[in-house]
């Protein structure tokens, strides 16, 4: 018997109970009425929004002399003024292992660039979103959802398939097409139930055969080969976990979309706007509770009628490049302000807003140009019980993973450390 309640059985059971006319005598209606008056507490969610090439250092960061709530918003954050009480800007954080100047997101959520170890190849560890997904994703159709831009490698993000990395430090794929994502979230499966069940059964039989063969050859292997095989076994277990989740949700219809299907071919600013709409829709319908978005750089500039390359803009100096970099920052802030507007306007069953139950982070592993210290970091939303509405300047080179650990613990994740963390950030805790 499963440790947690199978949602399909719950729905079937509730349907059977409602159909019985004698249930009033055992107090079912009184129970249902009480449930309607006291809806369940909304779940907590987590969202990470990552930009590749960082920000304009001179005009994005607040004055380090102005800390706490009484600080002036710099030019780059000015479009967020109406939400100033609901986000916190953190300065002083970095990753001790970072040394790749144009890998703005590869290690942003992991802190695990092992190039610092002589003779070792690049390796990564689990990202903060995937730590959260292991717990928050148990009761949703999708444990987590990763969004990408169509820009590819032209936006300074570095290796990876999204912002997410699994427990083995392997990249997790994401969606770069808003239309495809919309249908994944909300469109009914075309295949009949029996065919979908047969497809899962076939995948299981293939896995069984592969595992049997792998176990047969593991005797007599060198330690290196055994380590490789252990990693292989873990990948098989991960597939089995995904198949079990797919099977659990086979007979449960997808949520009805609160938004229309996006237009195809959106780029730049329009892409970000519709991806933000899809983030809200996915969280609102509880299709998932953990999302990341590796955001566009080149196409965003093009949608702003800026002809410079995203790379050249990242290497700004006073003049045209710096002006383009500053305009990009303002656009990101305008878009983020719009996302916060939507999260605040979306109501939960208990009358609170979706924003009240989301822990949101915006930032990059790069501060600007080639600087890998003072990672730009904005935290918003009430989901992690953080102290919002302040400008926080931490000691130089505080591990950024301390911030992620604080967020993880704030949303109820029992984590003692993350990446290269040395502890939580007490000044962030509400």
CA distance 246 to 143: 11
For the stretch 194-220, pLDDT in tens is 776 776 676 666 666 666 666 666 666
- By DSSP bridging, strand 87-94 and strand 391-399 are parallel
Q: What is the mean pLDDT of residues 263-269?
A: 95
Chain-centre distance for alpha carbon 25 = 47
pLDDT attached to residue 242: 67
| Alpha-carbon span 160 to 100, nearest angstrom | 14
- Residue 348, phi then psi, degrees to nearest 5: -85, 170
Q: Map out the domains of the chain as residue ranges.
A: 1-38, 43-187+260-428, 189-252
CA-to-CA distance for 262 and 185, rounded, in angstroms?
Answer: 13
Q: Which of 339, 360, 349, 350 is nearest to 289 (CA)?
A: 360
Assign 101 a pLDDT band (cuts: 50, 70, 90): confident
* Greatest pairwise CA separation for the chain in angstroms: 78
Q: What is the DSSP string of 180-202?
A: HHHHHHHSPPSS-HHHHHHHHHH
| pLDDT of residue 236 exceeding 90 | no
pLDDT for the residue numbered 261: 96
Q: How far apart are CA 315 and CA 369, in angstroms?
A: 5
SS3 state of residue 425: coil
Q: How far apart are CA 197 and CA 202, in angstroms?
A: 9
Mean of per-residue pLDDT scores for the chain: 85
Render the burial of 80-103: b for 16+ CB within 10 Å, e for the rest: beebbebbbbbbbbbbbbbebbbb
Enter the CATH code of domain 43-187+260-428.
3.40.720.10
Q: How far apart are CA 366 and CA 165, in angstroms?
A: 19
For the stretch 322-338, pLDDT in tens is 999 999 999 999 999 99
Helix (H, G, I), strand (E, B) or coil at 136: helix
Q: Within 13 A of 116's CA, how many CA atoms are on the CB side?
A: 12
What is the distance between the alpha carbons of residues 223 and 236, in angstroms, rounded to a whole number? 20
- What band does 113 get if pLDDT is binned at 50, 70 and 90? low
DSSP 155-177: GS--SSSSS-B-TTS-B---B--
pLDDT for 213: 63
pTM of the model: 0.84
pLDDT tier at 5 (50, 70, 90 boundaries)?
Answer: very low
Q: What is the DSSP string of 328-373?
A: HHHHHHHHHHHHHHHHHHSBPTTS-BGGGGEEEEEE-S-SBTTB-S
Residue 416 per-residue DSSP state: S
């Amino acid at each position: 018997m499963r440790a947690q309640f199978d949602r399909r059985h719950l729905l079937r059971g509730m349907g059977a109970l409602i159909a019985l006319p004698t249930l009033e005598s055992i107090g079912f209606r009184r129970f249902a009425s009480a449930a309607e008056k006291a809806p369940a507490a909304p779940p907590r969610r987590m969202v990470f929004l990552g930009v590749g090439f960082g920000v304009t250092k001179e005009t994005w960061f607040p004055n380090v002399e102005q800390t706490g709530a009484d600080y002036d918003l710099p030019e780059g954050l000015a479009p967020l003024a109406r939400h100033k009480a609901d986000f916190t800007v953190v300065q002083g954080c970095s990753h001790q292992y970072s040394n790749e100047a144009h890998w703005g997101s590869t290690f942003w959520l992991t802190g695990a660039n092992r190039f610092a170890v002589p003779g070792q190849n690049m390796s990564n560890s689990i990202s903060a979103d995937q730590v959260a997904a292991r717990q928050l994703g148990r009761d949703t159709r999708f444990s987590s959802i990763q969004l990408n831009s169509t820009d590819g490698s032209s936006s300074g993000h570095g290796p990876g398939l999204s912002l997410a990395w699994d427990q083995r430090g392997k990249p997790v794929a994401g969606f770069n097409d808003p239309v495809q994502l919309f249908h994944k979230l909300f469109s009914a499966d075309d295949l009949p139930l029996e065919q979908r069940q047969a497809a899962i059964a076939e995948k299981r039989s293939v896995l069984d055969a592969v595992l049997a063969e792998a176990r047969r050859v593991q005797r007599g292997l060198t330690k290196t080969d055994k380590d490789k095989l252990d990693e292989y076994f873990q990948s098989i277990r991960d597939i089995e976990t995904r198949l079990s989740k797919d099977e659990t949700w086979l007979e449960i219809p997808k949520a009805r979309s609160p938004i229309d299907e996006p237009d195809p071919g959106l780029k730049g600013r329009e892409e970000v706007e519709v991806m933000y709409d899809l983030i809200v829709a996915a969280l609102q319908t509880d299709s998932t509770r953990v999302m990341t978005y590796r955001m566009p750089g080149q196409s965003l500039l093009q949608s702003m009628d800026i002809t410079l390359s995203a790379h050249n803009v990242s290497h700004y100096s006073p003049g045209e490049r710096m002006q383009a970099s500053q305009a990009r920052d303002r656009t990101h802030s305008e878009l983020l302000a719009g996302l916060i507007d939507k999260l605040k306007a979306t109501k939960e069953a208990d009358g609170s807003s979706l924003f009240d139950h989301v822990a949101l982070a915006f930032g990059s592993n790069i501060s600007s140009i080639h600087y890998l210290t003072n990672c730009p970091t904005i935290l918003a939303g009430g989901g992690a019980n953080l102290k919002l509405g302040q400008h926080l300047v931490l000691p130089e080179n505080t591990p950024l993973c301390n911030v992620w650990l604080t967020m993880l613990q704030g949303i109820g994740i029992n984590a003692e450390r993350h990446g290269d963390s040395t502890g939580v950030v007490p000044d962030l805790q509400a």
